[in-house]
Amino acid sequence: MNKITSLEEVSSFLKDGMTIMAGGFMGVGTPQELISAILKADVKNITLIANDTAFVETGVGPLITNKRVKKVIASHIGTNPETGRQMIAGEVEVELVPQGTLAERVRAGGAGLGGVLTPTGVGTVAEEGKEKLMVDGREYLLEKPLRAEVALLKAYKADKAGNLVYHRSARNFNPLMALAADTVIVQVEQLVEIGEIDPDEVMTPGILIDKIIVNGGYVS
């Protein structure tokens, strides 16, 4: 199966109203070309799952700035003032989730679990509307799993089977999100032949990857 594709093909796959996960931490490890493809395809009403909304002009920030997002599920939005402005104006819905809880909800979605129990947020506004359970005399919130139709990843290197290597902290949420989406698309800086990546270096196995974009668009 040839996983190498073009930005044009990716753009035709994206649809209004999709739930999209995007890797990255304040723009580091975010697939910027794939974000640009969403903008070019004029995809709207996205539910965006990401650690944060980065900055106005970087990371996933342009999706907010250009009003392509109807709901954000993230751990913080403070670095992008446009997200806060739109939230206050009622133009975008924001669900704030503690960072560790966000990671575990994505992990639960990838593992097929019904959710995770966490004490984080008990007694705060984070517990509003959530089920609470008592375990061994301690209260926990039931946090439900997160999944998406599409996960957009950024990796440093891939082979043609889709085995991925990330570059240091740019790994962040990318490996988790590779597990929790129906279709996984990765933007990579380097593409090598199968067998050129030492198996011990593989951080995301190729079986999880559906489509590969090499920086700059298309490589046959």
For position 12, what pLDDT does the model report? 85
Give the integer Cα–Cα distance in Å for 68 and 123: 34
Give a yes or no: residue 194 inside a domain: yes
Give a yes or no: residue 136 inside a domain: no
For position 111, what pLDDT does the model report? 97
For position 72, what pLDDT does the model report? 98
The rounded mean pLDDT for the chain is 95
Give a yes or no: residue 129 inside a domain: no
Give a yes or no: residue 63 inside a domain: yes
Range of the domain at 79: 7-112+148-214
pLDDT of 220 over the 90 cut = no
Type of residue numbered 175: P
Q: Residue with structure tokens 């799952």?
A: 49
For position 1, what pLDDT does the model report? 78
Half-sphere exposure of 32 (CA within 13 A, CB side): 14
Between 212 and 128, where is the model more confident? 212
Reported for 83-86, long-range contacts at CB under 8 A and 24+ positions apart, including other chains, are: 83/53
Query: Would you give the DSSP letter of residue 127?
Result: G
Alpha helices by DSSP H, 41-183: 61-65, 81-88, 99-111, 174-177
Residue length, the chain? 220
Query: Would you give the DSSP letter of residue 177?
Result: H
3-state SS of 153-218? EEEEEEECCCCEECCHHHHCCHHHHCCCEEEEEEEEEEEECCCCCCHHHCCECHHHCCEEEECCEC
CA 32 to chain centre: 12
Mean pLDDT of 5-17: 91
Give a yes or no: residue 101 inside a domain: yes
Q: pLDDT tens digit string along 171-191?
A: 999 999 999 999 999 999 999
Give the integer Cα–Cα distance in Å for 54 and 59: 5
Give the integer Cα–Cα distance in Å for 110 and 126: 23
For position 217, what pLDDT does the model report? 58
pLDDT of 147 over the 70 cut = yes
CATH value at residue 70: 3.40.1080.10
Q: Which two tokens stand for residue 173?
A: 């949420």
Q: Which residues contact 101 (CB under 8 A, 6 or more apart)?
A: 116, 118, 120, 121, 143
Q: pLDDT tens digit string along 27-54?
A: 999 999 999 999 999 999 999 999 999 9
pLDDT of 218 over the 50 cut = no
Give a yes or no: residue 154 inside a domain: yes
Give a yes or no: residue 119 inside a domain: no
Number of domains in the chain: 1
Give the integer Cα–Cα distance in Å for 57 and 77: 14
Q: pLDDT tens digit string along 121-136?
A: 999 988 889 999 999 9
Type of residue numbered 144: K
Q: Which two tokens stand for residue 112?
A: 């097929």
For position 125, what pLDDT does the model report? 86
Q: Which two tokens stand for residue 137?
A: 């005399």
pLDDT of 219 over the 60 cut = no
Give a yes or no: residue 124 inside a domain: no
Q: pLDDT tens digit string along 69-128?
A: 999 999 999 999 999 999 999 999 999 999 999 999 999 999 999 999 999 999 998 888
